[in-house]
Amino acid sequence: MRKIYIFFLLLPFSIWSACDKSNDPSRVVIAGGSITEIVYFLEYEDKLVGIDVTSNFPEETSEIPSIGYVRALSTEGILSLKPSLILGEEDMGPPLVINQLKLTGMDLKIINEDRSAQGILEKIECVSKILGITTQERLNKIKNLTRDINLLQSIAKKNEDKDIRIMLILNMQGTSPIVAGQNTSGDGFIKMVGGKNVASNFEGWKPISSESIIAYDPHFIIITERGMSSFSDIESLSNTTALKFTNAAQLGKIYSEDGMAMLGFGVRTIKTALNFAEIFSK
């Protein structure tokens, strides 16, 4: 009988998006940088006993034991921290480890991801509910955030009418930039600020040739700070063959930004998006 029971537990589950209150949120393990950001934002960080390596903001996170990379977790490692609750992003894995965690009867919640301003608010709401934070308390905490979101959305709306063409680069692979296509966090970010993603003809992050970049003709280029690290400054990046013939490079409209602050879709993404929306609206 027990065998059958275990077999059913091992069957893969569909999307686990329960935001129900946890029975015991006293020892929390998190797999996913945006959730860690939210837990810090909600000032619940003293309950954290383990986080993954993508949880690198704020700086204090470095003092919390690391459970490894979000897609390569270890069952025993997580259990050794004796958590009472595990929160994860959708790409938490591998699936076998998640099955094992469920098998142990662990309270595991995988939080839905929607790459928009509204999605971030929903994520905060979901995490608050799980941690047992009252609606009133949450509304107090997100007061400034909702104001920023309203501002962001009004600017983004104006930006949309202006047909602002944006290209977002993750990093340079050799001489080809890795560009955000459809269905990426980069695409979500561009939409948030009211821009148009020039790379609309492919999905995912792909290396793009210099010729296609000239054809895309972006007005603005954003690159992550990590991608920037192989260049001394924006100027030397503008002079690479891949970028130098674009409008953006010639007019000096290339910006770099912290990758997680921009693409993590935690709390910081709102502020970053607001900054960029204002830059693009000028």
Partner 1 sequence: MSFFSLEQKWFKFVKSSQIKLLAFFLIALISIFFLSVTLGSFDFNLRDLLSRKSDSLDSIVLFEIRIPRVLLAAFVGASLGISGASLQGLFRNPLADPGLIGVSAGAALGASFVIVVGSSFFPEFIFGTFILPFSAIIGASFVISLLYIFTQGFGYQGITYMLLVGIAVNAFASVGIGILTYISTDSELRGLTFWTMGSFGGSSWQLIMPALIIISLTVLWLIPSSRKLDLLQLGEPEAYRLGVDVRRLKFKVIISSAVIVGLSVSLSGMIGFVGLVVPHLVRLLGGVNHNYLLPGSALLGASLMMGADLLSRILIQPAELPVGLITSAIGAPFFLWLIFRIRKS
Q: x/- site string to partner 1, residues 231 to 260, per CB under 8 A?
A: ------------------------------
Q: How far is the CB of 91 from partner 1 (least distance, A)?
A: 4
Q: x/- site string to partner 1, residues 196 to 235, per CB under 8 A?
A: -------xxxx-----------------------------
Q: Among residues 17, 96, 217, 235, which is the contact residue for partner 1, using CB under 8 A?
A: 96
Report the distance separating Cα 90 and Cα 15, nearest Å.
Answer: 8
Q: How many CB atoms lie under 10 A from the CB of residue 109?
A: 19
Closer to partner 1 at the Cβ: 75 or 281? 75
Count of residues touching partner 1 (by CB under 8 A): 40
Q: Among residues 19, 56, 68, 141, which is the contact residue for partner 1, using CB under 8 A?
A: 68
82: left (phi over 0), alpha (psi -120 to 50) or beta: left
What torsion, rounded to 10 degrees, do the Cα atoms 188, 190, 196, 202 define?
A: -50
Q: x/- site string to partner 1, residues 102 to 141, per CB under 8 A?
A: -xxx------------------------------------
Q: How far is the CB of 159 from partner 1 (least distance, A)?
A: 26
Q: How many CB atoms lie under 10 A from the CB of residue 61?
A: 20
Q: Which stretch binds partner 1 (CB under 8 A): 60-68, 122-130, 145-153, 217-225?
A: 60-68
Q: Among residues 56, 84, 93, 116, which is the contact residue for partner 1, using CB under 8 A?
A: 93
Report the distance separating Cα 76 and Cα 22, nearest Å.
Answer: 22
Q: Among residues 56, 75, 84, 153, which is the contact residue for partner 1, using CB under 8 A?
A: 75
Q: Which stretch binds partner 1 (CB under 8 A): 17-25, 72-80, 131-139, 264-272?
A: 72-80
Locate 139 and state its tokens.
């509304």
Binding site for partner 1 (CB under 8 A): 6-7, 10-12, 50, 53, 65-69, 71-81, 91, 93-97, 99-100, 103-105, 183-184, 203-206
